[in-house]
C-alpha cells in the first residue's frame, strides 16, 4: 500500500486522460468540475471502442459468437463490480443509467411495495435532488412521511437527536455518503447502526464517494447502494444499484419488457431471476464494460494513493484560497470530514459570473445550486461556485484557479 503512494505520479496519470491536454479560450484547460463528471482515461475509452469494433451484439439471446462474447463481457463487468464493491454475489448488482435511476428504482419498487400511510422515510438536508424527489413522489402516492436529519453551520449532519428521528414508523433512511454540494463526508456507519437497531433499512447515495474512497457494501452493512460510473472516470449513462439479496428477491420488477421475463402469457407473465428481473430491454452493454474498466483503473492507481493525493490538493487549495480576504468557503473545516469539493463565494460576484470569468481563463468550475436547493437554503444563498478535484488534478490547477479568482476580484473589485 505504501509503495503505491510513493509510485503515484500525477503527470503520468494526466497522460492517461487525452481530454486534459487542450487549450480553452487560449488557456490550458484546468478541469475542476469533477463532482459533476470526471474525465475518462485511455483504458476506458479503449474498451468502449474495442467493444463496438469487435464484439457488439445483443446479450443473453443470441446463439452466435458475437452474442456470446457480448454476454461474457456484460456479465463479466457485473462480476467485476460485485467483487470490487464487496457484494456477496453478482446477482445483487443491477445495471442502471446512473445514481438517479438507481434511487428511482428503489423508490418505485421497494418504496411502492412497502411504504404505507404514516410510514416514515428519513432523508438528510444535504441530499441531491435525486435522493429527495423520488421519495416525495412515492410519499404522495403511499401517504408516507418524509423527515430530515438537519445540518449545522459547517454543513455537517446533526446526529444528536438521531434516536428521536428514528421512530417505530421509520422504514428507510436514504442518505448521501458524501455531499456533492459541500464535500461533507458523512458518518454513515453510525446512522446505519442506529437505523438497523430500529428495524429501518438504509440506502446510501455513493455517487460522490466512489471516485474518492474504497467502498465495501458488506463492511458498511447498508441495504441499498447507488452510484454512477461517470463520476469515477467511467462512461456516462451507466450506473449501479446494489441491493442486499434477501431484499432484492422480494422486490417487484421495475420496468417491463424483454430480458426481465420468464414466461409471457396474454394476461400475465412471470419474472426472470435477479438481477435480470430489473433489467428490461437491451442494456447499456458498452457502458457496463466501460464501468468495469473504470474500476480497474481506479484500483490500479489505488484508492490509498488517490486519497493521499486529493487530501494534499484540498489542503493546498484551502490554504491558497484563504489568501483572498473576501472569499468564503462553505463546508466542514476538518479535512477528515470533507472530500475534494470546495463550494465558495467571492465578494459580491455572483457564482454565475465567477464561473464565466474562470472559464475565460480556461478554468472549468460549476456555479449554481448543484441540484441541492435544500443545502443552498440552509446556507442562505441562491447558488455557490464549486471547484471539485479528481485524481488527475495538480497544484498547478489550484494556482490557475487562484489566478482566475484574482481576475474576478479585478473585475468585481472595481
Partner 1 sequence: MSDLNLNSLYQQLILDHYRKPRNKGELPEKTVEIHMANPVCGDEIRLQLQIEDDRIVEARHVGQGCSISQAAVSMMTNLLKGKGLAEAEGLAQRFTAMMHGNEEVVRDRTMGDLRALQGVSKFPVRIKCALLAFDALQEAIKKERAES
DSSP 8-state symbol, 271: E
Choose the stretch contacting partner 1; rule: CB under 8 A; options: 21-29, 197-205, 292-300, 390-398.
21-29
Could you tell me the three cell numbers for 389?
A: 478535484
Minimum Å gap between C-beta 389 and partner 1 is: 22
For residue 412, which of 363, 364, 351 has the smallest C-alpha distance?
Answer: 351
- Cβ proximity to partner 1, 153 vs 348, nearer residue: 348
CA distance 373 to 125: 9
Contact 17, 46 (CB under 8 A): no
94 strand-pairing partners:
241
Q: Pattern of binders to partner 1 over 329-368, x per CB under 8 A?
A: -------------------xxxxxx--xx-xxxx----xx
Minimum Å gap between C-beta 381 and partner 1 is: 9
3-state secondary structure of 120: strand
Tell me the H-state helices in 88-132: 99-106, 112-114
CA distance 413 to 363: 20
- Cβ proximity to partner 1, 67 vs 328, nearer residue: 328
Q: Is 120 left (phi over 0), alpha (psi -120 to 50) or beta?
A: beta
Tell me the H-state helices in 249-394: 285-301, 303-321, 351-360, 373-379
- Cβ proximity to partner 1, 72 vs 411, nearer residue: 411
- Cβ proximity to partner 1, 1 vs 23, nearer residue: 23
Residue from 27, 68, 145, 147 that binds partner 1 (CB under 8 A)?
A: 27
Residue 320 CB-half CA count within 13 A: 19
User: How many chain residues bind partner 1 (CB under 8 A)?
Assistant: 25
- Cβ proximity to partner 1, 312 vs 413, nearer residue: 413
For residue 229, which of 37, 14, 94, 13 has the smallest C-alpha distance?
Answer: 37
270 CB burial (10 A radius; 0-12, 13-18, 19+): exposed
Minimum Å gap between C-beta 140 and partner 1 is: 21
Minimum Å gap between C-beta 130 and partner 1 is: 15
Minimum Å gap between C-beta 399 and partner 1 is: 16
Could you tell me the three cell numbers for 65?
A: 459468437
CA distance 358 to 402: 9
Residue from 231, 309, 369, 378 that binds partner 1 (CB under 8 A)?
A: 369
**22 is a site residue for partner 1 (CB under 8 A):** no
Catalytic residue among 57, 133, 329, 371: 371
Question: By CB under 8 A, what part of segment 391-410 binds partner 1?
Answer: 407
Minimum Å gap between C-beta 291 and partner 1 is: 28
Could you tell me the three cell numbers for 18?
A: 487525452
Report the greatest alpha carbon distance in the chain. 73
- Cβ proximity to partner 1, 356 vs 395, nearer residue: 356
Q: Pattern of binders to partner 1 over 295-334, x per CB under 8 A?
A: ----------------------------------------
- Cβ proximity to partner 1, 127 vs 279, nearer residue: 127
Minimum Å gap between C-beta 356 and partner 1 is: 6
Minimum Å gap between C-beta 361 and partner 1 is: 6
Residue from 25, 61, 190, 333 that binds partner 1 (CB under 8 A)?
A: 25
Residue 371 among the catalytic residues: yes
- Cβ proximity to partner 1, 202 vs 358, nearer residue: 358
Per DSSP (E only), the strands in 206-355 are: 224-228, 239-243, 261-264, 269-271, 327-330, 341-346
CA distance 352 to 406: 16
33 strand-pairing partners:
388
Could you tell me the three cell numbers for 282?
A: 437491451
Q: Which residues are catalytic?
A: 371
| Site for partner 1, rule CB under 8 A | 25-27, 348-353, 356-357, 359-362, 367-369, 376, 382-383, 407, 411-412, 414
Amino acid at each position: 500500500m505504501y509503495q503505491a503512494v510513493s509510485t503515484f505520479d500525477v503527470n503520468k496519470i494526466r497522460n492517461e486522460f487525452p481530454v486534459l491536454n487542450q487549450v480553452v479560450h487560449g488557456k490550458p484547460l484546468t478541469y475542476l468540475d469533477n463532482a459533476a463528471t470526471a474525465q475518462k482515461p485511455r483504458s476506458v475509452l479503449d474498451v468502449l471502442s474495442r467493444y463496438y469494433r469487435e464484439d457488439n451484439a445483443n446479450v443473453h439471446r443470441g446463439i452466435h459468437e458475437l452474442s456470446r462474447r457480448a454476454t461474457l463481457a456484460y456479465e463479466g463487468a457485473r462480476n467485476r463490480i460485485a467483487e470490487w464493491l464487496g457484494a456477496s454475489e453478482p446477482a445483487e448488482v443491477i445495471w442502471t443509467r446512473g445514481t438517479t435511476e438507481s434511487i428511482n428504482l428503489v423508490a418505485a419498487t421497494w418504496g411502492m411495495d412497502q411504504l404505507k400511510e404514516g410510514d416514515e422515510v428519513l432523508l438528510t438536508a444535504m441530499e441531491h435532488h435525486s435522493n429527495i424527489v423520488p421519495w416525495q413522489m412515492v410519499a404522495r402516492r403511499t401517504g408516507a412521511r418524509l423527515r430530515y436529519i438537519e445540518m449545522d453551520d459547517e454543513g455537517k449532519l446533526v446526529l444528536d437527536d438521531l434516536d428521536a428521528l428514528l421512530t417505530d414508523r421509520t422504514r428507510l433512511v436514504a442518505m448521501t455518503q458524501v455531499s456533492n454540494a459541500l464535500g461533507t463526508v458523512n458518518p454513515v456507519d453510525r446512522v446505519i447502526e442506529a437505523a438497523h437497531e430500529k428495524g429501518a433499512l438504509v440506502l446510501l447515495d455513493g455517487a460522490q464517494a466512489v471516485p474518492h474512497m474504497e467502498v465495501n457494501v458488506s463492511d458498511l452493512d447498508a441495504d441499498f447502494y447507488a452510484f454512477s460510473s461517470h463520476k469515477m472516470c467511467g462512461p456516462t449513462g451507466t450506473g449501479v444499484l446494489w441491493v442486499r439479496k434477501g431484499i432484492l428477491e422480494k422486490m417487484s420488477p421495475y420496468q417491463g419488457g424483454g430480458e426481465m421475463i420468464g414466461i409471457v402469457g396474454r394476461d400475465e407473465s412471470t419474472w426472470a431471476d435477479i438481477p435480470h428481473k430489473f433489467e428490461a430491454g437491451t442494456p447499456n452493454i458498452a457502458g457496463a464494460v466501460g464501468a468495469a474498466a473504470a474500476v480497474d483503473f481506479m484500483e490500479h492507481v489505488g484508492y490509498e494513493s488517490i486519497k493521499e493525493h486529493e487530501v494534499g490538493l484540498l489542503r493546498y487549495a484551502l490554504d491558497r484560497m484563504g489568501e483572498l480576504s473576501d472569499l468564503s468557503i462553505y463546508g466542514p473545516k476538518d479535512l477528515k470530514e470533507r472530500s475534494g469539493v470546495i463550494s465558495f463565494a467571492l465578494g459580491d460576484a455572483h457564482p454565475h459570473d465567477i464561473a464565466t470569468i474562470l472559464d475565460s481563463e480556461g478554468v472549468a468550475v460549476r456555479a449554481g445550486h448543484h441540484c441541492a436547493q435544500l443545502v443552498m437554503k440552509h446556507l442562505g444563498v441562491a447558488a455557490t461556485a464549486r471547484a471539485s478535484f479528481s485524481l488527475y488534478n495538480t497544484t498547478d490547477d489550484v494556482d490557475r484557479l487562484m489566478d482566475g479568482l484574482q481576475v474576478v476580484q479585478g473585475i468585481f473589485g472595481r
